[in-house]
Amino acid sequence: MFAKLSNVISRAKAHEESASDKPFGGVNVILVGDFHQFPPVAAKASAPLYCPCNAEKDSDYDVLGRKIYEQFDQVVRLKTQIRVMDADWLDLLQHVRYSDCSECHLSMLRKLILTHKDCPATDFSSPPWNKALLVTPRHVVRMKWNSMSAKARAIAAGVSLVNCPASDTVQGQSLTLEERFAVAAKPKTGRGRNHHEWAGLADEVEIAIGMEVMVTFNVATDLDVANGTRGHIVDIVLDTREEVSAIPSQTVQLQHPPIYILVQMIRSKALPLEGLPNGVIPIMPQLKTFNVTTASSQKISVT
């Protein structure tokens, strides 16, 4: 954000210098959202905007960004909370904010634990719990939850669970045995990396018609098809090289990624496509690259 703010100021100064016949009155900048930049977005203690900079340790952009931030002279506080409608829960959140919870707040939280004796009976096979979403910071838990949910819903709906493999290539050609071994043997590195995931894409994705899905890449932000957008699959269009021309009512292991899947988005700014209902858009396979080194010390870029 500091870099963006400094770019705004630099352009403003350039505009002011070039437009001598048209006086420039300054730039209005509005920050919207979490400008505190809490971890993991903020990588160091002095990264949040409210922290003073250390001229000896911080970069020129950090120092410049802090100076720009200090020039903000108006603050608007939004006091009306419209997201949480439960008065008791809102009261708890406000007490948590100031670390001022009483025993009644703690008792309310304890009753949400499924194994607690006072927790209301929860039937995960009936609404709304049968469509409950799991929020977890654990990647492995999320992967297992998604896999089990996909299988359960495919069985309940009587549709096929389709296993879609990634298609790895080097310069458009299939991987040799040595290259495949290099990909399989590549060690897990970096925070949040998963052994069955390369460049943010999984080795295999399980999908089924009717399955609820979430976009995890910014496909088309101008059309609101961005990270976090939700919907459900209405059709799967297979690659022409597949041996099956249609998806039978069973588990299917594909040899190639589908050409595309049709997804009915909960919300979308995309105009209706010819022959498709409003809000249904095609999502094609994503392309990413990563580097590996073969046993013969040759570095290759895998797509």
Q: Do 212 and 264 touch, CB atoms closer than 8 A? A: no
Q: What are phi and psi of 37, to 5 degrees?
A: 55, 65
pLDDT confidence of residue 264: 94
Q: What are phi and psi of 194, to 5 degrees?
A: -115, 145
Is 120 a domain residue?
Answer: no
Which among 71, 62, 64 is positioned nearest to 37, based on CA atoms? 62
Instruction: Please give the single-letter amino acid code of residue 5.
Output: L
Mean pLDDT of 167-182: 90
pLDDT confidence of residue 1: 46
pLDDT confidence of residue 5: 52
Is 116 a domain residue?
Answer: no
> What's the full length of the chain, in residues?
303
* DSSP 3-state of 292: strand
pLDDT confidence of residue 127: 85
Instruction: Name the helix (H) or strand (E) containing 26.
Output: none
> Do both 51 and 184 map to the same domain?
no
Query: Going by DSSP bridges, is the β-strand pair 260-265/280-283 parallel, antiparallel, or unpaired?
Result: antiparallel
Is 40 a domain residue?
Answer: yes
For the record, the structure tokens of 244 come out as 């099956």
- Distance between CA 192 and CA 10 in Å, rounded? 36
pLDDT confidence of residue 73: 80
Query: Going by DSSP bridges, is the β-strand pair 162-165/252-253 parallel, antiparallel, or unpaired?
Result: parallel
pLDDT confidence of residue 190: 44
Q: What is the signed CA dihedral for 87, 93, 96, 102, rounded to 10 degrees?
A: 20
Chain-centroid distance, C-alpha 218: 8
> Do both 49 and 143 map to the same domain?
no
pLDDT confidence of residue 125: 80
Residue 193: pLDDT band (50, 70, 90) is low
**Highest mean predicted confidence (pLDDT) among 17-21, 242-246, 293-297:** 293-297
Mean pLDDT of 124-153: 83
Q: Do 259 and 274 touch, CB atoms closer than 8 A? A: no
Q: Cβ atoms within 10 A of the Cβ of 18, count? A: 10
Is 53 a domain residue?
Answer: yes
Residue 219 pLDDT exceeds 90: no
Q: Cβ atoms within 10 A of the Cβ of 148, count? A: 11
**Number of compact structural domains in the chain:** 2
pLDDT single digits (tens) 22-64? 555 567 777 666 555 555 555 666 776 777 888 788 888 778 8
Domain that holds residue 47: 2-69
Residue 251 pLDDT exceeds 70: yes
How many degrees, rounded to 5, is the angle at CA 240 between CA 236 and CA 242? 80
Residue 85: pLDDT band (50, 70, 90) is confident
* DSSP 3-state of 161: coil
Is 161 a domain residue?
Answer: yes
For the record, the structure tokens of 62 come out as 């950090």
Average pLDDT of every residue of the chain:
80
> Do both 45 and 158 map to the same domain?
no
pLDDT confidence of residue 103: 94
- Distance between CA 2 and CA 163 in Å, rounded? 43
Query: Going by DSSP bridges, is the β-strand pair 290-293/299-302 parallel, antiparallel, or unpaired?
Result: antiparallel
pLDDT confidence of residue 15: 52
> Do both 147 and 295 map to the same domain?
yes
- Distance between CA 141 and CA 24 in Å, rounded? 55
pLDDT confidence of residue 188: 52
For a pLDDT cut of 70, what percent of the chain falls above it? Answer: 80
Is 91 a domain residue?
Answer: no
> Do both 145 and 293 map to the same domain?
yes
pLDDT confidence of residue 234: 94
Residue 199 pLDDT exceeds 90: no
Is 171 a domain residue?
Answer: yes
Q: What is the DSSP letter of 117?
A: T
